[in-house]
Structure 1
Amino acid sequence: MGSDSITMILQLAVMILLIGVSAFCSSAEMALFSLSRPKVLSYKESPVPVRRLIWKLMDSQSRTLITIIFCNMFVNSMVSMLDETLLEKLHLSPAATLAASAFSGIVILLLLGEVTPMTIAYVFSDKWAETAARPVYYAYRILTPLTALVEHACNGILDLLGHVRNVGLKPEEYLSFIENGVERGSFTAEEGKLMKETIALRRKTVESVMRTRSELYYLTPEDTPETIRNIIRKHAMPYLPVSRDERLDNADAILSARLFFSLPEEARKNWLHSACVQDHALFIPEASTLEKALRTLKKARAYAALAADEYGAVSGLITQEDIFSELAGRSVELDEQTEFDVVKVGPNQWMFDGMATLEFLKSTLSLKIAPERFSASTLNGIFCELQGSIPQQGDSVSFDHVTMYAHAVSGNRISRMLVTLEPGDALGADIEGGSVV
């Protein structure tokens, strides 16, 4: 075998090797850039080192892309030069040389170096991304000076074209990710629903959930424990602002009814300086989103805050419970709710959760109501059935000797319902204690 033949065989072997490198570059690009943004973000704190490496590469994805493209173009150029050298040594006719060049350059390189590996990498993107991450990272480090220069030039051009950098995940992308996760079994349907409701908090404002000013009652430092107890019982207020100058707009503290009742009788006499009082009144704009309001409440370690309108006047009161109930109240299925809270607020008057069942009302107040009387199974549904429209705060309906009053409304449902019985129907309904939700 002559030296020319050996040279041709070596050149052919090198060309095949380069086509393999080209295939690797193409497949690595496809695998890495096929990973969803949420998945890449989840790799940041992954215990698997190669996944953290993927996050590092995709965190600087423009340089990673430049690195892969540069390597691929360099390899393809080398393949083209070797191809021309081999064809010259074959001494073919011009037509045969053109045909062989087209076959090797288009069919072989395109099919084996681009299309096929990219298709395979797309199908197995997760596994192949982990396989390709280390070699790509090594090339990334070696070519950093070059890629930094190219990236700077590209960013300058993109800035001139109005490109916006560092755009975070949009709500639509999160929702799409959640839906895909539910379809693939990553999340249960209930988990997906809860996450969607959490994202929906971004659009809801304090004004849509808060207790309005007309519902509020405030305390003064001179109020006795008995007065406070009567106000809480009568108006079913879990939190009460405290004002030293008898003006709600100047409230400077907030009392928790639950903590007040947990105090011993003797400690209630000094209630203003006890643990039941949040000694600073936190104010939140009523136009704030629930997401911001919850973050503000947690940062201040406050359980409630007063909502203020654009003029600085108190327009309502918002609590952490209100925000959580807005989230969970619409996410939990009715048949999953097995326990409801009730509190007796006055003679023959009880405060119920609007989503409590008719059976719960019957058993709690010892009422006899025929099962076929209503088609709805919840108090909120019965209220709508009797009224024939979506309930508004302050609406009331009656049946037999029972009066139902919409004490608080969240969205299109009653969150707190005041139920009043005529004295003759209150037998067996002597309930003390409980809590308001």
Structure 2
Amino acid sequence: MFPVYEIVGLLFCIIMSSYFSGTETAITALSHMKISILKENHPFISPVLLKWEENPGIILSILLIGNNIVNIFGTLLAGRIAFIVFSDFSRGMVDLIAGITMTFFVLIFGEVTPKTFAKINPEKWIIPALFFFRLIDWIIMPFAIVLSKMAQFFVKIMGGNNKPSEITQSEIEYIIEKSSTDGVFDQDDQGELLSSVIEFKYTIVREIMTPRTDTKFLSSNTTLQDALDHVQEWGHSRVPVFKDNLDNIVGILYVKDLINFIIFEKHDLNEKVLSVARKIILYVPETQKINQTLKKFQQTRNHLAIVVDEFGGTSGIITLEDIIEEIVGDIQDETDQNYADLFVRIDENTVIADAHISIDELETYLKITLPESSDYSSLGGFIINEIGIVPPVGYFLLHNGFSYIISESNEKQISKVQIKFPAVHKSEDECDQ
């Protein structure tokens, strides 16, 4: 009797071995950028890629378990086929024939060929592969979780660490030095960039966020026409939408969504903006480290998060651009201010400063040093922290020889501050002359 079913089963096992081997190679060959693009363009496989970023051990365990299962069954079927076809041979010879044949087919068609193709063309392989993966992972997942936990246990008792090793300062210095040598950036920027990278992991959201008072919001009752007028005036690509009060954020309006709804879907301009706003909102606490926030942005594919205080109230917003600027410096766009906007020189010893300027920018421009505190991050915050109130126009504060006179303010915040410094002191502009 010819072993038809056994041969079909063996072919299936070899095909599945090829699938598991190729998928393992393809997914490990994908860069973070390619994974992000695939998640954006192929929502169905996005959960698998997200799981891969969060816990690659689970995905690898599923692939390895699946590969071993089909290889074991394939070996059994190969032995059965050899026993039927070579029934006149001794048992030892039959086992030898089955072993050699199975090894050849697994190596060529189950390992070398699929892995070579997947390594060269990871995206072509991974898209259809992960479609199928989503259909089978729930079967193997329980075994993979147990295997992953056991592996972590044995790694731990052998003195290993399950957490990936962090990049060291010497490695960072080498990367920056190499990039400078290759002309990626000027050598003059090396020190500043190195300092930014090292301090990055210690910076918290509150230090770089846009505070609530400086954030533009839209009410949920705003019409599409009014929303369009506002975003054209503000120049922002994303705007939080609130209902009743600013502590109740109910959506994020993406300007591209607004334009698409108005132009292509012909929505009534009197319709409320909440119908267009996206309801999935990312919240982060003020005290979260920005490297953790960056990871959240990557995992959720958001570019804006609502910052909340310890009581759940809205403190402000933080964007992906804010975080990137902490490393590479300002990313200038149509809404950004420069020093010319933040300072107006009155005479050689006097400037008018925007009270929202950060302490770092103020110290850089005026070559002064102000006390550091987690209670404030701007010039206005420093003054309020010093005197304990929001001062009226004309209020005078003397600190380390510098005079701070309130030029513009209201009951909620300081807007402009006149700064007088000693005649011997020079700002950045004067030092450059």
TM-score (norm 2): 0.43
TM-score (norm 1): 0.43
Structure with max Cα Rg: 1
